Structure 1
Amino acid sequence: MNRVTRYVRHNGLSLFFGALFLLALAGQAIAGFADHNDRMIADHAATVSFLSYVTSADFAVDVAENWQSEYLQFFLYIIVTVWLVQVGSPESKHPRDIGQETDKQQLVGSHSTADSPKWTRHGGWRTAVFSWSLGLAMLGLFLLSWLAQSVAGLSAYNSEQLGNLQDPVGYGYYVTSADFWNRTLQNWQSEFLAIGSMAVFSVYLRQRGSPESKPVGAPHATTEQSG
């Protein structure tokens, strides 16, 4: 097996979803561009070029509002599953392990191995930061994408206001407006429904060979087991 083949085999999951992301983003840009110009024609306004559309606030807000809801979903799931469980779900840990677990269970400090990341062996603030690094990364990406959504949304909203011969609004007004929270909450509720459904469905349903599912023959009450 050559280097390229090995790399693809070992990183197939990220490469697959990375390719799907780019294809979906390109498809959104093309469809959004066509829809935008159709609305411009219907309103007897000037159409825009593809480059103008994909660098516009309209496109940016549509992209960012989806990104922020996804990162919020993963941040909350990563954090709440430290303390909350769903008995029977491979997405949940066993009730006996509720909490942050012991240093021995987490291979921290004197319990770390030769292959453990360096910051797990030092203790102090470095180990503390590394212990929360996944949640912090997801929180940071959520906040950045939420900020991008709010800024792009404000620009798009004010463009519409000016087009309707109305006064533009300030940032504070926009982020407390019905328009902003309608965009935001319609994405949040779908993410919460999807991840909650996955936690429950995985108790009773199976997908053979998937680490997101228990073994086909595992009892429904089996928790924290995948295969």
Structure 2
Amino acid sequence: MRWLKENALALAFLVMFLLAVGGQAVAGLLQFNDTQLAEGGEPISFFRYVASSSFAVDVAENWQSEYLQFFLFIMLTVWLVQKGSPESKRPGREGAESDEEQQIGRHAEAGSPAWARVGGLRLWLFSNSLGLVMGGVFVLSWLAQSVAGQAAYNSERLGDLRDPVSWWSYVTSAEFWNRSLQNWQSELLAVLSMVALSIYLRQRGSPESKPVGAPHSATGVEG
């Protein structure tokens, strides 16, 4: 029970994620089969659908936009600040900060991770590991979207008796960028809303909000 309590936030989002992916798969299958029947085709099974390029591209295009959002937010908040937002560092603390502030090298504490105590490449990798992983997942998701999207796009073209296109032609097409940008703009708007609205609005008890009584100008303060 203690383990569940200490990991409740991650577990809650994991359960919601699995339910959402399962729901998307079921709804997508129903929509796909409805289109198949309307066009005189045969419906397909659930397992064939979730292994299809049609399902893969829908999942990958959402994943890459989400990880782009977090990658940009993680990296930009190193150097950029927003006065009054709990999502920002305090003005004047822009940058990677000193070794003492980051508790690395000789400033490491008893409970600090082992790689925080060393220097060289290992320290650099650990110091930038969150951004590297988020950026890496974005790139991989983008590539997965492009490959699955090309396959789905060519399937539609072949159904219309048109020639398939190459990967390069697909990733430079309006089809690909329309799918990508419609997700990017919504993610960037969500981050902008969180950064700006948290200056003036509060949610009692949430670490994403300032304390209810904190001044609007308070920056980098969590409730």
**Common fold by TM > 0.5:** yes
SS in 1 for 2:206: coil
> Does residue 1:182 correspond to 2:156, yes or no?
no
In the alignment, is residue 73 of structure 1 matched against residue 69 of structure 2? Answer: yes
Of 28, 32, 44, the match for 1:48: 44
Instruction: Find the aligned partners of 2:203 and 2:108 in 1 and give their Cα distance.
Output: 34
Counterpart CA distance in 2 for 1:114 and 1:49 is 55
Q: Which moved more, 1:215-224 or 1:36-45?
A: 36-45
The alpha-carbon deviation at position 169 of structure 1 amounts to 0.6
Report the Cα offset of residue 126 of structure 1. 0.9
CA–CA distance in structure 1, aligned partners of residues 104 and 140 of structure 2: 31
User: 1 CA distance for matches of 2:35 and 2:191?
Assistant: 35
**Structure 2 counterpart of 1:122:** 118
Q: What does residue 18 of structure 1 align with?
A: 14
What is the distance in 1 between the residues matched to 2:39 and 2:178?
Answer: 24
Match of 1:144 in 2: 140
Work out the CA distance in 1 between the residues paired with 2:39 and 2:216: 57
Query: Is residue 2:28 matched to residue 1:32?
Result: yes
Matched, 1:89 2:85: yes
Contiguous gaps of at least 5 residues in structure 2: none
2:155 is aligned with 1:154: no
- The normalised TM-score by structure 1 is 0.97
Aligned to 1:113: 109
CA positional deviation for 1:145: 0.6
Shift of 1:163: 0.4
Q: How far is the alpha carbon of 1:114 from its aligned partner?
A: 1.3
Identify the residue that residue 202 of structure 2 maps to in structure 1.
206
Runs of 4+ in 1 over 2 A off after TM superposition: none
The Cα offsets for residues 125-155 of structure 1, whole Å up to 9 and x where unpaired, read as: 1111111000000000001111110000000
Question: How far apart, CA to CA, are the structure 1 residues paired with 2:7 and 2:59?
Answer: 25
- Write out per-residue CA displacement over residues 59-82 of structure 1, whole angstroms, 9 at most, x where no aligned residue: 000000000000000000000000
How many percent of aligned residue pairs carry the same amino acid?
62
Q: Distance in 1 between matches of 2:47 and 2:41?
A: 18
Q: How many residues align?
A: 223
Helix, strand or coil at the partner of 1:222: coil
